[in-house]
Structure 1
Amino acid sequence: MNVLVLGGYGAVGAHLVRLLRADGMVARAAGRDSTRADVVLDFSDVNGYEAALNDAAVVVNCAGGEDLRLAQVCASRGIPFLDISATTEYVQGLEKIAGPVLLGVGLAPGLTTLLAVDALSGNHGPVDIMIGLGSGEHHGPAATAWTYHLLGQRFPDPDGTTVRNFTGPVRFEVPKESGYRPARALRADFADQHRLTREFGVPVRSYLRLDSRLATAGLGLLTRAPVLRPLVPKHLPGSDKWVALARSADGSMRWAAGRGQSLATAVVATAAVRAVVAHPLATPTWIHEILELADLRNILRDNQITLNY
């Protein structure tokens, strides 16, 4: 099984390549850097990309670029295309592609999606998703760019109003075992909240916090005054601990926690590759349509990620 990992030597891609190889798959890291890539590739060169797909059975995009052509080329050849991106506009574009595309392949959306679906299975009321990220972790440029892209942007709420990113703080009680303290989280535009709201017919809302309360407050300030962004220090206070939870209307929670969001994203992507190999796709599909939380129990445990549901 040959898997082509776009951005395969980046923050997420390097973990994914390692995990896939440990699974017995042939994983090739693709990118521009000839000293680190197994396949030297400029993703803007469609002809070069076409050639790189000749022996690929699955493609996973960890490069951070949001070029729909990459998915379209794969779809035209019947090659499953998996993407770890969280940007709502891009995900909505992927949903319209005619071919095998898997969406929500990561920590958020991805693991958060599965937590929320499990919460929705036993409740008919609203579900709140909260993702806490370690502000002290070294992230790839794509993750940083995604965060800054949200500053000042608005997105639709299930009640018909519009919400500005990093506003509307809500307090979340967090299990002590997660390594996080109870604190407020801010609304953030993760793509799975829109999909799940449509699919289940109940409000699903996403929230984001950082493990540093100061850093979380900084996001709220920056969304109101983006001109202050150049003043943000390169290294923020905090750790690499993350937590993801889904809270039902009755207060019950499903949650997962670990260290290193890049590793967590790669772990979920590895499980997704396995699922796609076992159950080939024909159309754009969300991760919860082929995986459940129970399917991730072992691979999460093997990578020191706690799961409670």
Structure 2
Amino acid sequence: MNVLVLGGYGAVGGHVVRLLRTDGLSALAAGRDAGRADVVLDLTDLDGFEAALDNVAAVVNCAGAEDVRLAEACAGRRIPFLDISATSAYVQRLERVDGPVVLGVGLAPGLTTLLAADALDSHRGPIDIMIGLGSGEQHGAAATAWTYSLLGQHFSDPDGTVVRNFSRPKRFEVPSESGYTPAAALRADFADQHRLTREFGVPVRSYLRLDSRAATAGLALLTRAPALRALTPKHMPGSDKWVVLARPAHGPARWAAGRGQSVATAVVTAAAARTAVLRRITSPAWIHEILRIADLRDTLRDNGITLGVDNSPR
């Protein structure tokens, strides 16, 4: 049986296919480019997508296509559908699909979700999630478009107030081993903060920063004037270093760091796909319901990702 990877030759999908094949699974890259795809597929053609599901054990969506009908088609055949999207409204629609859907299978949400769930197991209090990305990394088009789509948009805070994306800066201390310097991060609408808040009954808030302070400041400016987005440079200053951190109000923070956001996303996604193939999933589940951070420790290490616990004062 095959794992069908939508967008399987893209920035994330290409790594997912490689990792699954390294583990001995049959992974097929799906997309419109006949020169790069194992399965030529236009995701706007639902009949063609249905036909491509024959002999498929799981589908991983790395294409950036946020069409719930794809998940519903898989659910109708009891095929697990895994999605790396961080878009809150889309993820909430996926949570209502009647079938095996796995959510939050990337870096953020995904690794952030696992770190926060681990912290919440020990300290049932408010959690701040900080996502620090490398602004110099050449992301896929879908990742860049998603970030810019948040400009000027609003979402609900756990306290009931309305928050504008890339506002309300908060300073985060990060371990020196992460290669990141301490700096302010901005509130951002990552889907797992809403799920964790509902599930654990405590405020969980997500913040985003880039390794370039100038680029982070640019997001704060653009969110108040989204029309200026056209002026953003094609190549941002910064590196490919990333760090994610879940900081409880009481107790040590959990963190992970590495290089290459796309690779990190793929490592977590491939691990979730392997789990979905091996166990029976019948209804929508978040990654922390099928995996623990301890389950990924060796896999993360083997792919150059460092995990740690930070007991330093806030």
TM-score (norm 1): 0.99
**Hey, what does 1:156 align to over in structure 2?**
156
**Hey, what does 1:99 align to over in structure 2?**
99
**Hey, what does 1:294 align to over in structure 2?**
294
**Hey, what does 1:21 align to over in structure 2?**
21
Q: Aligned AA for 1:237? A: P
Instruction: State the shift of 1:276 in Å.
Output: 1.1
**Hey, what does 1:167 align to over in structure 2?**
167
CA–CA separation in structure 2 for the residues paired with 1:171 and 1:54? 50
1:265-286: CA deviation from partner (whole Å, max 9, x where unpaired): 0000111012112222100000
Give the share of equivalent positions with the same residue, in percent.
74
**Hey, what does 1:224 align to over in structure 2?**
224
- 1:276 matched to 2:276? The reply is yes
1:241-298: CA deviation from partner (whole Å, max 9, x where unpaired): 0000000112521000000110000000111012112222100000000100000001
Describe how 1:58-137 pairs up with structure 2 within 5 A: 58-137=58-137
1:182-230: CA deviation from partner (whole Å, max 9, x where unpaired): 0000000000000000000000000000000000000000000111111
Instruction: State the shift of 1:308 in Å.
Output: 1.2
Secondary structure of the equivalent of 1:28? strand
CA–CA separation in structure 1 for the residues paired with 2:295 and 2:279? 14
**Hey, what does 2:5 align to over in structure 1?**
5
Secondary structure of the equivalent of 2:63? coil
CA–CA separation in structure 1 for the residues paired with 2:207 and 2:153? 15
CA–CA separation in structure 1 for the residues paired with 2:225 and 2:196? 31
Q: Is the 8 A contact 2:123 2:251 kept in 1?
A: no
1:15-37: CA deviation from partner (whole Å, max 9, x where unpaired): 00000000000000000000000
1:36-75: CA deviation from partner (whole Å, max 9, x where unpaired): 0000000011111111100111000000010111100000
CA–CA separation in structure 2 for the residues paired with 1:214 and 1:174? 18
CA–CA separation in structure 1 for the residues paired with 2:150 and 2:166? 8
Secondary structure of the equivalent of 2:115? helix
CA–CA separation in structure 2 for the residues paired with 1:45 and 1:277? 25
Q: Aligned AA for 2:82? A: L
**Hey, what does 2:234 align to over in structure 1?**
234
1:116-159: CA deviation from partner (whole Å, max 9, x where unpaired): 01111111210000000000000111101111110000000000
Q: Mind listing any 5+ residue stretches in structure 1 that lack a counterpart? A: none
TM-score (norm 2): 0.97
CA–CA separation in structure 2 for the residues paired with 1:251 and 1:132? 21
CA–CA separation in structure 1 for the residues paired with 2:277 and 2:37? 24
Q: Aligned AA for 1:223? A: T
**Hey, what does 1:56 align to over in structure 2?**
56
Q: Aligned AA for 2:52? A: A
CA–CA separation in structure 1 for the residues paired with 2:148 and 2:81? 26
Q: Aligned AA for 2:43? A: F
Secondary structure of the equivalent of 2:239? coil
Which consecutive aligned stretches of 4+ in structure 1 deviate over 2 angstroms post-superposition? none
- 1:259 matched to 2:259? The reply is yes
Q: How many residues align?
A: 309
**Hey, what does 1:211 align to over in structure 2?**
211
CA–CA separation in structure 2 for the residues paired with 1:43 and 1:65? 8
- 1:200 matched to 2:208? The reply is no
Secondary structure of the equivalent of 1:108? coil
CA–CA separation in structure 2 for the residues paired with 1:38 and 1:195? 35
Secondary structure of the equivalent of 2:108? helix
**Hey, what does 1:249 align to over in structure 2?**
249
Q: Mind listing any 5+ residue stretches in structure 2 that lack a counterpart? A: 310-314
